[in-house]
Amino acid sequence: MNLSNCLTTQNCSVTKKANYEHEDYEDTPFFRVQTDTFPIIAAVLIISLNSWVIALVVKKRHLRTVTNINLVSLALSDLCTGALSIPLYLSCNITRITGFCTADLIVITFVSVSTVLHILLMTIDRYICIIHALRYQIWVTHRRGRAVIALIWSISVFTALIQLVWFDLNQDAHDDYGTEIGMKFVVYDIFHLVAFIGLPATFMAFTYVRIFYEVRRQTRNIHKNNTPGWQETQRSTKREWKIAVIYLLMLVVFLICWVPFSLLRVEAILQAEFLELHLSDVAMVLIYWIRFCSSSINPCLYILGKPDFRNATCLRRQKERQIYSDYTRTSLMKSSPV
């Protein structure tokens, strides 16, 4: 089995072959602690964090805004990484059954497409909120939000399942695919790289430039004109700017976690070395592992970064108690006799 199959139907061999380059190495199924422990830890972390986000929104009524419903949808998508993708990845590694390997690839594709589309949706949401603030409540409604989320899931599921058209589940997992199916892999993966990574990332980059320019312009006008209620307006603008920065960081995390893996997939399918990076086996394993990190970093960003999520957790209360404790200690020290 070559690397092309490994990155298209059987990601398992990346981690196995990375540890054995000897001629007498046999590609036999087994669980290896060095390569299979990290995904298990990642799965537990991903499930815990994203379940926490979902539970917070279900429990706290004030969190059920259109923006946060988008985040819950993203959390459900990320939850698939820990609950489906990683178990399938390990099953493919251990059993080498074609069905597990194919299912893992389908979930990988679903999560990557779903993640970038959710971030795109949140970017557009921030753009409307800041650039067209007066029309935001009219344009962005719960009904439209649910419709767009349903569209995102439909596109993600369709894009992932379309691969079953050329997959042969009866074929042995170790066999190489023919030229015709190989060309379908090439077309599909290049389309995926351009349509669901390149174009959305370019569009969002220009959108955030426009958002940050508008925030800066609004801030200057507030200070210059000294309009009534300028302090509240400034706080609101600053709050929206911080949320936009969180979503920008989510985009950066997505690109860091998914672009290297996607490029290596295309390179492996083409059986070329256009990157010419000459990566070590350890680097190859890390590139494959890093895609799991996106699903655990996303919930951390909006739990710690968004004020409404932060206030709904015990993190804000602990901070307030610490400030109160420090203030009380300082007051007692000042009032105590010398």
Residue 246 token pair: 């969180």
More confident of the two residues 83 and 34: 83
More confident of the two residues 2 and 53: 53
Number of H helices, E strands in the chain: 14, 0
- Domains of the chain from N-terminus onward: 3-328 (1.20.1070.10)
Maximum average pLDDT range among 187-191, 203-207, 282-286, 331-335 = 203-207
Q: Provide the pLDDT confidence category of residue 243 given band limits of 50, 70 and 90.
A: confident
Q: What is the pLDDT of residue 306?
A: 86
What CA–CA distance (Å, rounded) separates 5 from 12? 10
Q: Provide the pLDDT confidence category of residue 228 given band limits of 50, 70 and 90.
A: low
Question: Could you give the dihedral angle defined by the CA atoms of residues 141, 61, 298 and 105, in that order, rounded to the nearest 10 degrees?
Answer: -70
Mean pLDDT confidence for 276-298: 82
SS3 letters for 277-320? CCCCHHHHHHHHHHHHHHHHHHHHHHHHHCHHHHHHCHHHHHHH
Q: What is the pLDDT of residue 5?
A: 42
Q: pLDDT per residue over 141-198, tens digit each?
A: 999 999 999 999 999 999 999 988 887 666 655 555 556 777 888 889 889 999 999 9
CA atoms within a 13 Å half-sphere pointing along the CA-CB vector of 308: 17
Q: 């962005």: which residue's tokens? A: 140
pLDDT at 286 > cutoff 70: yes
Q: What is the pLDDT of residue 21?
A: 40
Q: pLDDT per residue over 125-142, tens digit each?
A: 999 988 898 899 999 999
Mean pLDDT confidence for 76-92: 93
Q: What is the pLDDT of residue 269?
A: 73
Across the chain, what does the average pLDDT equal? 79
Q: What is the pLDDT of residue 267?
A: 77
Q: Provide the pLDDT confidence category of residue 229 given band limits of 50, 70 and 90.
A: low
Q: What is the pLDDT of residue 13?
A: 38
With a pLDDT cut of 70, the percent of the chain lying above it is 74
Mean pLDDT confidence for 71-86: 95
What CA–CA distance (Å, rounded) separates 33 from 290? 18
pLDDT at 248 > cutoff 50: yes
Of 88, 94, 78, 90, nearest to 29 by C-alpha is 94
More confident of the two residues 192 and 34: 192
What CA–CA distance (Å, rounded) separates 10 from 3? 9
Residue 310 token pair: 């932060």
Mean pLDDT confidence for 193-220: 90
Q: What is the pLDDT of residue 175?
A: 55
Task: Write down the pTM of the prediction.
Answer: 0.81
DSSP codes of every residue in 2-63: -HHHHHHT-THHHHHHTT--STT--------HHHHHHHHHHHHHHHHHHHHHHHHHHH-GGG
